[in-house]
Amino acid sequence: MIKKLAEEFGLHLSTAENTVKLLDEGNTVPFIARYRKEVTGGMPDVTLRELQERLVYLRGLEERKEEVIRLIEEQGKLTPELEAEIRKAEILQRVEDLYKPFKQKKATRASKAREKGLEPLADLIRAMELETGTPEDAAAPFVCGDPELCEAGKGAADAEQALAGACDIIAEDISTNADFAEKVREMTRKHGMLISEAANPEESTVYDLYYEYEEPLAKVPNHRVLAINRGEKEDCLKVKVKAPAEQICGWIKEQVIVNENSVFFELMNETVEDAYKRLMAPSAEREIRSELTERAEKDAVKVFAKNTEKLLMTPPVKGARVIAIDPGFRTGCKVAMLDETGKLLAYTTIYPTEPKKDIQGSRKTLKSLVDKYDANVIVIGNGTASRETEAFAADFIHDLGKEDLRYTIVSEAGASVYSASKLAAEEYPDLDVTTRGALSIGRRLQDPLAELVKVEPRHIGVGQYQHDISKGLLDGALTDVVENCVNRVGVDLNTASPSLLSYIAGINTGIAKNIVSYRESNGRFYDRKELKKVAKLGEKTFKQCAGFLRISGGSNPLDATAVHPESYGAAERMLEKLGISKEEIGKSGAGEIEEKIRRLYPDTEKKERKSVSGFAALASLAAEKPEETQKKLRKSMERMAEDLGIGVLTLSDIVSEIRKPARDPRDGAPPVVFRKDVLSIEDLTPGMELTGTVRNVVDFGAFVDIGVKHDGLVHISELSNRFIKHPMDAVNVGDTVKVRVLKVDPEKQKVSLTMKK
């Protein structure tokens, strides 16, 4: 199993073995990815989770093999050849195929025929050795006319029934043959078609495209599989798999019909066709439909997870004094005023949209908030009445003439779910549901990660067909994504909410609440070691979580970094060797620490090293021979790491943290697009160039917010001048992109865009 993992993931055998050992010891994926890089070879968290998932599958496969071997052995039917076949199986389907003939079944036509003693007749027919006489002659001894057979409850009423029963036995044996079943699936996958038609051709539905649809099984895209499944579930479509029946039956006949001169030739032909059509085809169709769905769901989950990751890793907008608006019509637009830290300063309701359309009153309210709190950003949720509210906000900003006041649209997916949740009620018991929604919308701009973790991941809404996917599959994948993101960024131990803390490695919901309770009772944390005083947070949990929890202004400057407490000794010895005090952490210039390491551990093997002294000289050498310089620096790092008793990857991480503590990985993401004006779909013309934000990526393209009511679609064929297999090869959620309008359909409110040059 370890060898297989090593081969599949391109790892050394020892790396795979040690990584599995870390997982088996109960270490979390974020902890292993960040603090055990020497063991894993620097494997990222996403790959580690894939390895963990594969490990679970392989172990489940081995357990099932042992169980199947035991069950067959209990029946006294296990042969050395069969056991070898089972042990050699690489997928669960193969194990189940091999077990199928021995599985306890409900009464079948074949089992009833066996009870009548017709198995010897089945063997006679199957051998096809008889070349004289008729099948009826051969069946005569198995007819119940013989008193001995009748007394024993054996035999058939006549020769025709005897032959039919024997053929039922042969048909069942053919259908339960593991090799035959595998070949039938293979040929169906390769040459079969997926066909759908209207359940009611007179009724027009969103599935019109699939009313007369057929496509080779081997080519059906995943998003179409999910769309067809949904249409079938809603009774709008009838779906079936059309297999190459003649070709399949021909192949089976080649395997089982051994003598064309036999009197049983025609009977065997009919039996093969019966075995396939009655027993194998329905089973193969179910299995292949299941395979297609499983494949499509896994792909959709990957797309959803990737989109969610990009959304969660949207950079926070620092220094934003936000007027957050949750738009609406009849009940008005809820407004929340937030300071730079997300603290609620004021809240109210305005009515700039139908039916009241109180433009002047709404302007007056917003102006008072801008003047009183010096607001510099208006954030609008993208739900109902969003574009009408956006038009109002754009006019307001234009007429006010305040240079630094801008607006942006944020996704409010899941905001209503959060605002009505028990968590929101606990956080803001004095606010109504809609005001909590506006507050959440504003905070999504200020710190998307901290706010979005309060929403159940499946409600964030950046995928395709998420409501058709297995809840367990989707929730598991998305929880992993949120955990990866939160631990990649790290959290401030003294300000993080229980929701955010609960995603930190090793910390569950109960411990997260205990941390906040301890903080409220004892004041802020000044040292990571204080965590051990929190109820139920033991040594094992501390080891997993400590490195991801930051303390600014604490008693130990290293607590503000991602350096793990287990490496404090090595970090302090390194600082001492380099002549850097803890107070200087974060103040050393880029490259300066590396230069000090190079000087402390010079590469004396080459003479040209003697002529290099000081950082300026190293920089000069780097300009001439960057690869050579990097090579020499690595040697110096290796020597220091050996001296400190740690790995080079760990040392490299420590150096990065000393130079720039707790660097936010979100800083490199595309910035939020702010606007001061608004477009309507009528303003768009083909050829117009615009800047937009990618809101969602699906299998067939990307939806881009260009400032009109509905997001425009960039089809996969328009994403790039080069060929791409998936839209994510070109764009991700949150990207700022330049697009050109291809086609505008005001009636359907659809806009087609291109990113091609």
Distance of alpha carbon 156 from alpha carbon 464, whole angstroms: 57
H/E stretch holding 752: strand 750-754
- The three-state DSSP-derived secondary structure of 378-410 is EEEECCCCHHHHHHHHHHHHHHHCCCCCEEEEE
Distance of alpha carbon 156 from alpha carbon 144, whole angstroms: 5
Q: Tell how strand 237-242 and strand 193-198 pair up.
A: antiparallel
pLDDT at position 147: 65
Site of tokens 């009153």: 361
pLDDT tens by residue, 644-676: 999 999 999 999 888 888 778 887 777 777 766
Which residues of the chain are modeled with pLDDT < 70? 146-153, 461-466, 588-591, 603-629, 675-679
pLDDT at position 464: 64
Angle, CA 363 vertex, CA 319 and CA 337 arms, to 5°:
30
Q: Which of 590, 579, 561, 563 is nearest to 650 (CA)?
A: 563
Distance of CA 379 to the CA centre of its chain: 29
Distance of alpha carbon 298 from alpha carbon 292, whole angstroms: 10
Supply 287's token pair.
């299995």
Angle, CA 405 vertex, CA 399 and CA 410 arms, to 5°:
110
Distance of alpha carbon 39 from alpha carbon 16, whole angstroms: 9
pLDDT at position 73: 96
pLDDT at position 114: 93
The string over 292-324, giving b where at least 16 C-beta atoms fall within 10 Å of a residue's C-beta and e elsewhere, is bbeebbebbbebbbbbbbbbbbbbbbeebbbbb
Other beta carbons within 10 angstroms of residue 276's beta carbon come to: 24
pTM: 0.82
Collapsed DSSP state (helix, strand, coil) of residue 303:
helix
Other beta carbons within 10 angstroms of residue 718's beta carbon come to: 19
Distance of alpha carbon 547 from alpha carbon 528, whole angstroms: 9
Distance of alpha carbon 11 from alpha carbon 741, whole angstroms: 47
pLDDT tens by residue, 682-695: 888 899 888 888 98
Q: How many helices (H) and strands (E) are present in the chain, helices listed first? A: 32, 15
Q: Which of 448, 446, 425 is nearest to 435 (CA)?
A: 425
Whether 545 contacts 536, CB under 8 Å? no
The verdict on whether omega for the bond into residue 355 sits within 30 degrees of 0, i.e. cis, is yes
Whether 258 contacts 125, CB under 8 Å? no
Rg (CA), the chain: 34
Distance of alpha carbon 265 from alpha carbon 131, whole angstroms: 10
Helical ranges in 313-376 per DSSP H: 359-373
Distance of alpha carbon 577 from alpha carbon 645, whole angstroms: 14
Question: Helix 245-256 to helix 178-191 angle, to the nearest 10 degrees?
Answer: 150
Residues, the chain, total? 757
Distance of alpha carbon 505 from alpha carbon 562, whole angstroms: 13
Angle, CA 543 vertex, CA 514 and CA 641 arms, to 5°:
150
Distance of alpha carbon 277 from alpha carbon 183, whole angstroms: 15
The string of DSSP letters for 579-598 reads T--GGGTTTSPTTHHHHHHH
pLDDT at position 627: 65
pLDDT at position 589: 56
